[in-house]
Structure 1
Amino acid sequence: MIRIERLTCVGALGLMLGACASAPVHYHTLLGTAPATRSHMASHLWVDVGPVGVPSDLDQQAMVVRQSPTRVDVLDSEKWASPLGEEVRSAVSAQISSRLGAPDVHGLAVADGQPVVRVSIQLRRFEAWLGSRVLLRADWMLTFVRDGRRDWVMCSGQFETTATDTYPGLVHAGQQVVAQMADRIADRIADVELHGNVGTAPCNGGGRTHDSSVQ
């Protein structure tokens, strides 16, 4: 009897371990469906969306979900397709390129004299509350290199949208706030291209501009 009970316990433990090992892992992306090109900007401008700075506790593949002001859950079964910083970079790149009709040449050599705008983003907050909202706050710098000059503008913004109580719904809300930020950046680039000077169009959400000769 003791032997049977022991075998039964071992068998049950094996089933439990098997169930744990077979738990599915779901992968998500912030790269949503890019909009149709809406700007009539000439395609001579190239865009270089650089790596996105992310707080170290968020820059991982596991999704980090807020449970309270003092508690977060790191989800081993709900993950990003790549670390959060790369997810944001890819989504912003696709959105800007589609909006402006300008290719992202990040990682490629740019010919001398080719007008290019370099986009640098630093995430300050990316909070996901299941069944409530997703909030994104970031600073970004746009550096316009053209005609022997380097002009830059620094901006900031906060974006928020409601989220459902499912993980796909949370991801969809994340896609929306990232797209809102990308739209804000694309609008600023288009304003500069239209007016020809970083100081002629206001920076949405505040910021400052600077002009200098390319060194």
Structure 2
Amino acid sequence: MMFARLPRPPRGLVRGAMYVGALAGLVAMAACSSPSSRFYTLGADGAAAGAAAPVSARTSAAPAWLIEVAPIDVPPQVAKNQLVVQTGPTQVQVLEQERWASLPGDEIRRALSTSLTQQLGTIDVYGTAYPDTTPVYRVSMNVQRFESWPGSHALIDAVWSVRAVRGTGVMTCRSVVSETVSGGYDALVNGHRVALQRIAVQVAAAVQAMAAAYPKGGSAGKGGAVAVPGCPSAVVSS
């Protein structure tokens, strides 16, 4: 029996196929060897947030007054998904593999909202409809410095205010908190979490003071006009 001999493919085609195969192999090796990104959040852990409790245990009657935590501004140089760390007084480094789970402003707002609702036993109604008869106190914050010094400290410098939504009463304060941290980015992020929690305690005290001064969310109590409460003490620490 005789077999027909198939024609050989052109040498250029064979070399091209070999080149493409080798290139694909190199790309695959590079993909496997590239470091994976790590994501961080400022949210509280499960124990602090009450994640272990059943849903029915966290359901309660409508609170007597509400809060509204507005979106939070952060400095433009840190308003990105990558962690930005200080390498000197005038130098920073953007870490491509170390990233926030969401933008820093969103992380701060979510963590602040969670802390305030837990401390005050109320609800954050930002972006949600609420009864016209329920007093609402708006919390606004402008983070002026959000510095990350690996192996040294995490610093948050924020100007914030609490305002009765239906009135003119407003309290404006400043908190500067610096937390010492050990080495590693986990410790750095945790330092920011602790610093923000300390600020949240001050904000909660301010909300309570405003709610006492303006129980109807706009007008003063039976005594008529009242002075706006002063800022909580010890808002600056290091």
Q: TM-score normalized by structure 2?
A: 0.73
Greater relative contact order: 1 or 2 (C-alpha under 8 angstroms, separation 6 or more)? 1
Q: Work out the CA distance in 2 between the residues paired with 1:55 and 1:161.
A: 19
What's the Cα RMSD here? 2.7
Name the structure with the higher strand share.
1
SS of 1:79's equivalent in the other structure is strand
Q: TM-score normalized by structure 1?
A: 0.80
Q: Work out the CA distance in 2 between the residues paired with 1:65 and 1:12.
A: 36
- Counterpart position of 2:43: 31
Q: How many residues align?
A: 193
- Compute the displacement of 1:150 (Å): 3.4
Percent of matched pairs sharing the same residue: 30
- One-letter identity of the residue aligned with 1:30: L
1:120-139 equivalence runs, <5 A: 120-139=140-159
Which runs of 4 or more aligned residues in structure 1 lie more than 6 Å from their structure 2 counterparts after TM superposition? 9-12
- Counterpart position of 1:187: 205
| 1:109 is aligned to 2:129 | yes
Change in Cα spacing, 1:69 to 1:16, as seen in structure 2 (3 Å) is farther
- Counterpart position of 2:232: 204
- Counterpart position of 1:89: 109
1:69-84 equivalence runs, <5 A: 69-84=89-104
Q: Which structure is larger by alpha-carbon Rg, 1 or 2?
A: 2
1:153 aligns with one of 171, 186, 203: 171
SS of 1:99's equivalent in the other structure is helix
- Counterpart position of 1:67: 87
Q: Work out the CA distance in 2 between the residues paired with 1:191 and 1:97.
A: 15
List gaps (5 residues or longer) in structure 1.
Answer: 1-6, 37-41, 208-215
The farther-off stretch of 26-35 and 49-58 is 26-35
Q: Work out the CA distance in 2 between the residues paired with 1:95 and 1:116.
A: 17
Change in Cα spacing, 1:185 to 1:84, as seen in structure 2 (3 Å) is same
Q: Work out the CA distance in 1 between the residues paired with 2:190 and 2:78.
A: 18
| 1:173 is aligned to 2:191 | yes
2:30 aligns with one of 10, 14, 17: 17
